Amino acid sequence: MTEAEPALVREEISGDVLVLSIDNPPANDLSPPVRAALLRGLTGAGAGRAVVIRAEGRNFSATTALDCASDESARPTLGELCAAVDRHPQAVVMALNGLVIGAAAELALAAHVRVASPLTRLAFADVGLGLVPGAGTTQRLPRLVGTIEAIALLLRGRPATATEALEIGLVDRVVDSALEAAAVAQGAAMPGPRPTALRHDRQSDPQTHAAAIAAARAEALRGVLPAPKRIIDCVEASLYLPFEAGLAMEAVAREDLAATPEAQGLMAVARAERHAARLPAAVAKVRPREITHLGLSGGAPQFATLALMALGQGMRVSWFDADAARLDRAQDWIAARQDEEIRLRRLTPLQRDADRSRLFPLVDAASLASARLVIHAQADADFARLAARGPSVPQLVLGGAEGALGLALSPSARSCELAVPPDAPPGPVAATVLLLRRLGLSPVLVNGLPVVGRRVSGAGRAALARLLALGVPRDSIAAALDEFGQATPALADPDPAPVAARAMPRPEILRRWLAAMANEGLRLLDAGVARCPSDIDWLMVAGHGMPRWRGGPMYQASLRGLLVLRADLQHWRDDDPLWAPHPLIDHLIAEGLSLSDLNRAELNGAD
């Protein structure tokens, strides 16, 4: 035990109940020291005292497999802690609040009773990382909620609300206030433990679950990822195998899956997503006021999408466009989308009318002065006039402009690039990031112009177009991309047409396509436009349709290695200059550096 450990879990006696309070900010990670402190508390409670486990802060804990990857096997493991909770001779009650994700949700299953606040949200997110959850989750969860609900919870990965959790038996009580007191009273009132491992009340008739399991398995078999199939196998085993045998099956499945390329790619993208969300220290320190009034200046296809997003978040939108007919068409498009949402029962007519009442078409750009952030279609006179008012109201240019904050939406409208000039004050940057996240976008900070996704995906399309010109059949290209999980982009017929068809194996088609994108990514890194390789990967996955489990073009290049990438490019460079190796490859090889090293260097520099 180190001197730091006692501070991570506080022990207090409340009547005849021991209260263990986790206090490991900011996320209350269930790290090895926290697990050790909880285990010591349980052991010290003895045979005659019930235990309540709670956490300080807004969230109980949001520890995922991504957080635990380096210490999952450290003793005590989460599985050992869960076993100690399950086998405790007196009642163990979990007092759950806020986010209860991953390891925390797994620990909650081992408790004998779960009491939650109304804002509690529980999730088992390991399927999103290509894994079967561990610590006995696939065996305890179906014993609590039934096989069908367990499969649904584990495969969807999204949080269950407190109300949903209560309805299916995942929690036993939801209390509006005094959560700790309610949990202590619950523990004191219980005559003894109620081990989850011994419960079978939701699994009384395995035959009734057979059809649902078969349907879930058939659906999983249509997918390309192995984790859903193994999760279903493990949950099904809870119906027939002894608890300990089910634990062993789950452990083997988790170990097997962790070694698969699918899980490794998903983990890489999860790290890239987290890395891309990091902000420079000066920006992260700012606490901007929420923007409630968005201004749009000019006409751009993306403006209607942005307006619809903002209206859906309850914002006021003022939109000036000198082309009145174009603005009318944009409003018609917004109205059509809203009507479609009503048809799908995702929006009510009352909500639609409220949204429309907050959209203000303008006849004069000067009226944008009341907006708290303005996005311009181009860096025109209106932009210059509003920007001259100072940095208190951020002014963005769609597509970017020298010395200005630039914005580029991805084709998926899930991610975007935010170009930040070197001398930009942190306040407007922080306010813009807050707004973009409120709109449901994942902003990635870039330097210069926001062109990373467009140029990398464009290099991939150019490579495919060149393959067509070399005589590679269109069907072969489509088949290769389909095998990879990527939609085939629209490609014009080559002019002039190739003299003869050229057979090319699917793996080579994919290597050429990926290499062209990685080469362009290296060019953007060398120019300082992209911050690191993983930012490029995240933009391609979140915004340009690359399968998440493939990790992105830079990740794929790192798997093969820079030496192999350079050799491939040198072999293909005579076919087109787009395959000419960028000099940064030679530099990295000479310095003994990898793309992963560039990610680590940027991450450390951001600190």
Helix (H), strand (E), coil (C) string for 172-184: CEECCCCHHHHHH
Distance, C-alpha 554 to centroid of its chain: 18
Q: What is the pLDDT at residue 4?
A: 44
Residue 235 token pair: 């949950």
The position carrying tokens 């708290």 is 372
Q: Which is the CATH superfamily of the domain at 293-452?
A: NAD(P)-binding Rossmann-like Domain (3.40.50.720)
Q: DSSP letter string over 113-156?
A: EEEE-TT-EEE--GGGGT----TTHHHHHHHHH-HHHHHHHHHH
Q: What is the pLDDT of residue 605?
A: 65
Do residues 532 and 555 lie in contact, with contact meaning Cβ atoms separated by under 8 Å? no
Output Rg (C-alpha) for the chain, integer angstroms: 27
Structure tokens at 23: 């206090």
DSSP state of 497: P
Residues of the chain with pLDDT under 70: 1-6, 69-70, 204, 206, 605-607
Measured CA to CA in angstroms, residue 339 lies from 311, 330, 355, 388 at distances of 14, 14, 12, 39
CATH (residue range 5-258): 3.90.226.10
> pTM higher than 0.75 for the full model?
yes
Domain with CATH 3.90.226.10 in the chain: 5-258
* Predicted pLDDT at 69: 65
Rounded to 5°, angle at Cα 485 from 483 and 488:
90
Identify the pLDDT of residue 7: 77
Let me know: does 468 contact 494? Beta carbons within 8 Å.
Answer: yes
Amino acid found at 251: A
CA distance 372 to 267: 38
CB burial string 193-202: b at 16+ within 10 A, e below: bebbbeeeeb
**Residue range(s) occupied by CATH 3.40.50.720 in the chain:** 293-452
Residue-wise DSSP of 1-33: --TTHHHHEEEEEETTEEEEEE--TTTT---HH
The pLDDT value given to residue 5: 47
